[in-house]
Amino acid sequence: MRWGILAGLLFVCAGTAPAQVAHHPAHFAALSPQASQAAETVDAFHAALRRGDTDGAAMLLAAGAVIFEGGDVERSKAEYAAHHLGADAQFAAAVPSKVSRRSGSVIGNMAWVATEGRTTGSFKGRDVDSVTTETAILERVGSNWKIVHLHWSSRKAGAAD
């Protein structure tokens, strides 16, 4: 059932994609007012990672959250916590990221938040300069939002970035 809802949500979102992907200066105008609370949950997740608060970050994930990163998949909050959460927190604490654009919307009890940004700094002796994208899908649980899916992608920044 949840995957059917997610598939429907992604189908609806895909219809708005052309308007969302045009290159503009940094702004957040495409984030619907209804999606701001969901976006705050995504921001709280990243803030917890930057603080090294892996428990706090995990609390914002649904038990069945699916995380895509670098071609890998974590199929639950427990699997993510056991494998990559600690390393993601170390990286987030060491390498600053800046959001350049965000869009999102709410459909029923589901929300999507798409974030573009740039991550620059150094980690374990290596320079990092990456353009990043993140798609977060959230489900409203009572008065709170839980992250049910994260998809992270990045590429090396170029001169045009």
CATH number 3.40.980.20 is the correct assignment for the domain at 33-156: no
Quote the pLDDT of residue 1: 52
- C-alpha count within 13 angstroms, C-beta hemisphere, residue 3: 3
Quote the pLDDT of residue 29: 57
Which of the 8 DSSP states describes residue 11? H
Which residue(s) pair with 140 in the sheet?
A: 145
Q: What is the pTM of this model?
A: 0.83
Quote the pLDDT of residue 5: 47
Q: What are the residue ranges spanned by the domains of the chain?
A: 33-156
Residue 153: name the closest of 130, 121, 137 by CA.
130
Quote the pLDDT of residue 132: 98
Residue with tokens 């920044």: 157
Instruction: Using alpha carbons only, give the angle 48, 50, 55 rounded to the nearest 5 degrees.
Output: 35
In order along the chain (161 residues), what is the average pLDDT of each group of 10 residues? 47 42 52 95 99 99 97 98 98 97 97 98 97 99 98 95 90
